[in-house]
Amino acid sequence: MLATQAMLEQGIHVEGINFYTGFCVEGHTHAIRKKDKAKPKRNNALWVAEQLGIKLHIIDVIDEYKDVVINPKHGYGSNMNPCLDCKCFMVRKAHEWIEEHNFDFIITGEVVGQRPMSQRRDTMPVIQRESGAEDRLLRPLCAKILPATLPEREGWVDREKLFDFNGRGRKPQIALAEKMGISDFAQPSGGCCFLTDAAYSGKLADLWSARGERRYELDDIMLLKVGRHLRPRPHFKIIVGREEGENRFLEGYRKQFTHLYTTSHPGPLVLLDGEANDDDLQLAAQLAARFSQGKMAETVRVELHEKGAAKRELDVTPLTNEEIPVEWYL
């Protein structure tokens, strides 16, 4: 936002690009979970573009992004976050976009030393090089402590009006925002990607381990954001809706999964991912019963819809807390 405003103040025409990878935190989870209904559902990229008065292009990179997540050349951060590869990928896509649409250069809001992987003095040149953007990549917020880029050398941008921010602190940015009259801003310290989340990364690692290969589809990564995930056996896991909004979201997947829910008592929708024999289905039904309002009852009736089979009913005893090993929870 600050980098864009700095360019706008120099009279430069700027348009925004927002890449949608499927791992973005905002939007989905708020839309799904009923308890988050009160939170504003604004898309921050759209909101920022509107505040700045620029166009925004949202680009679906879900399929292309898979290779970044699955085979990151520069490895992962503390979780499954391939930050440096991600930045190289996004700047490369931005570079392709500017060539296609006759724009002259790319700007980002990066600051030297701000992030531990992708915004270090030694990794920032890697992004320029591997993205192919080279010196058409300008970082206005820290440009003065980096070599001059093409737009600066050509005089398209006045280098003297750019900034020399560095390090993890945000005080200079906050002061600049105030000077620019910007009082509301989104994501001042990252945290917008599920791959930086330890619990989410654990579920993704489990998914790959259970499948015996590192691959995913959009539905897989969406489902990892929703519900309680338990893997009672290596060959199947269950996803249990935690509240009404999640149950409604999971309902959209009923045709793709064996699913079950309690009928004698109110309870969640449970999806079963994997191959399950009769014993496994019995166990899944007992777990569904455990997470229903009949968890203290002697018997709970569960309706089971196996993929490709007629529905049937099971009367089961709910598992107790003690009977659910903590290792089952993903």
Partner 1 sequence: MSHHQLDARRMLCPMPVIRTQNFVAKLPAGDTVDVLCTDPGALHDIPAWCRIHGHEIIGTQELDGELIISVRVGTPSG
Tokens in use for 26?
């905002």
Of the candidates 204, 216, 132, 180, the one whose C-alpha atom is nearest the C-alpha of residue 1 is 180
Phi, psi (rounded to 5 degrees) for 229: -110, 125
SS3 content of the chain, % helix, strand, coil (to 5): 40, 15, 45
Q: How far apart are CA 16 and CA 56, in angstroms?
A: 4
Q: Which one, 20 or 76, has the nearer CB to partner 1?
A: 20
When asked if residue 30 is in the footprint of partner 1 (CB under 8 A), the reply is yes
Chain-centre distance for alpha carbon 133: 25
Task: Out of 34, 35, 41, 179, name the contact with partner 1 by CB under 8 A.
Answer: 41
User: Least CB distance from residue 98 to partner 1, whole Å?
Assistant: 15
User: Least CB distance from residue 122 to partner 1, whole Å?
Assistant: 33
Site string for partner 1, 142-181 (x = CB under 8 A): ----------------------------------------
User: Cβ neighbours of residue 122 under 8 Å, at least 6 residues apart?
Assistant: none
When asked if residue 93 is in the footprint of partner 1 (CB under 8 A), the reply is no
Task: Out of 9, 60, 178, 323, name the contact with partner 1 by CB under 8 A.
Answer: 60
Q: Which one, 45 or 141, has the nearer CB to partner 1?
A: 45
Q: Which one, 162 or 250, has the nearer CB to partner 1?
A: 250
User: Least CB distance from residue 267 to partner 1, whole Å?
Assistant: 21
Strands 137-138 and 106-107: parallel
Instruction: Report yes or no: 325 and 298 within 8 Å, Cβ to Cβ.
Output: no
- Which stretch of DSSP H or E encloses residue 290? helix 278-290
* Candidate segments 58-66, 134-142, 256-264, 266-274, binder of partner 1 by CB under 8 A: 58-66
When asked if residue 125 is in the footprint of partner 1 (CB under 8 A), the reply is no
> Which neighbouring-strand residues pair with 228?
240
Instruction: Report yes or no: 127 and 112 within 8 Å, Cβ to Cβ.
Output: no
* Candidate segments 45-53, 143-151, 205-213, 300-308, binder of partner 1 by CB under 8 A: 45-53
Task: Out of 9, 34, 35, 50, name the contact with partner 1 by CB under 8 A.
Answer: 50
Q: How far apart are CA 6 and CA 329, in angstroms?
A: 47
Binding site for partner 1 (CB under 8 A): 13, 18, 20, 24, 27-28, 30-32, 40-43, 45-47, 49-50, 54-60, 222, 252
